[in-house]
């Protein structure tokens, strides 16, 4: 890892779910506070608010602002970092979200590739540069072609990495080739895995952590994985990785966050319904989750 890589963006960041009331009409901020305390007890570096796992596409504008504002304060009160999801397929909108997140006191913004409109690489470059210029807030690029329909090419990441506000990348391509090339083209960026199962493979190339779905359930184990490889204890890291593989697979038997919300309910940490078009987990998924969860170590209690 390059010595110039930001030390702030290392370890486990939890892509936290957004708890809704039982009828789905509002965010349950009491439940969110308990979730954030649970994550802090597991020693994660930070939480990502209003990400994909947090059902950001279904949040109203006022809800997003309240979630970022109150969630940031909750995270800081718990002693961990708060990252706000500020991505949009409209550059103007992304800039506005970036400015708001900075004013709300977030520690960083997670900005996804513009989705659906599929810009070319020059469009992607211009989009993120506009956002990076908008406010003095660190940006974590979010490269997830499976969701957005377009990938950031390593050469484009290398160009973006020259901006002082672009500090990290969440690499969710599932490709060691892509991750490896990004680390060559942009050695100053902190590379975080965007897929739990790829955390250790990416770490072997120089990755420094993960934005995790699994850590909603067992934050301390995901932290243990990151601590092991960051501490150069590779045999220990491999052991934890193999322990986590079945859980990683189970989190994506249906579209995220359907399985993770179901799993949290099974663990006695119900966080409300999913908002349409996300639907409740199928009976087959519940059965799969019950089998996987029965093998987990007990989660860290708050």
Residues annotated as catalytic are: 142, 170
Q: How far is CA 152 from CA 18, 120, 158, 288, 302, in A?
A: 27, 9, 10, 34, 39
Nearest partner of 183 among 197, 196, 201, 195, judged by Cα: 201
Q: Using the 8-state DSSP alphabet, how is residue 56 labeled?
A: G
Contacts of 119 (CB under 8 A, 6+ apart): 127, 150
Name which of 22, 35, 23, 115 is nearest 67 in CA terms: 35
What's the rounded Cα separation, in Å, for the pair 224 and 155? Answer: 33
Beta strand 139-143 pairing with 166-171: parallel
Rg (C-alpha) for the chain, rounded Å, is 18
What are 180's two structure tokens? 């490896």
Burial class (CB in 10 A: 0-12, 13-18, 19+), 7: exposed
Of the candidates 42, 54, 125, the one whose C-alpha atom is nearest the C-alpha of residue 84 is 54
Tokens 């290392």 sit at which residue?
10
| Cα 199 to Cα 253: distance, rounded to the nearest angstrom | 19
């Amino acid at each position: 890892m390059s010595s110039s890589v930001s030390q702030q963006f290392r370890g486990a960041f939890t892509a936290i779910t957004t708890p809704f009331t039982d009828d789905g009409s509002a965010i349950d901020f009491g439940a969110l506070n308990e979730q954030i305390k649970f994550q802090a007890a597991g020693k994660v570096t930070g939480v990502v608010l209003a990400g994909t796992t947090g059902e950001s596409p279904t949040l109203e504008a006022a809800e997003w602002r309240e979630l970022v504002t109150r969630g940031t304060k909750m995270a800081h009160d718990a002693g961990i970092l708060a990252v706000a999801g500020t991505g949009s397929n409209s550059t103007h909108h992304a800039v506005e979200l970036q400015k708001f997140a900075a004013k709300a006191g977030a520690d960083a913004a997670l900005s996804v590739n513009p989705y659906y409109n599929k810009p070319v690489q020059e469009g992607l470059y211009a989009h993120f540069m506009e956002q990076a210029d908008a406010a003095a807030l660190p940006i974590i690029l979010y490269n997830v072609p499976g969701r957005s329909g377009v990938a950031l090419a390593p050469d484009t990441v290398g160009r973006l990495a020259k901006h002082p506000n672009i500090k990290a990348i969440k690499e969710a391509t599932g490709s060691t080739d892509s991750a490896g090339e990004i680390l060559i083209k942009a050695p100053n960026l902190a590379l975080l895995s965007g897929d739990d199962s790829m955390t250790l493979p990416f770490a072997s190339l120089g990755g420094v952590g993960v934005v995790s779905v699994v850590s909603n359930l067992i934050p301390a184990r995901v932290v243990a994985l990151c601590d092991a490889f960051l501490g150069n204890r590779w045999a220990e890291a491999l052991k934890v990785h193999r322990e986590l593989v079945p859980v990683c697979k189970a989190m994506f038997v249906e579209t995220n966050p359907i399985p993770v919300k179901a799993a949290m309910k099974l663990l006695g940490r119900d966080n409300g319904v999913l908002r349409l078009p996300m639907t409740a987990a199928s009976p087959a998924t519940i059965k799969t989750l019950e089998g996987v969860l029965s093998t987990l170590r007990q989660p860290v209690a708050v």
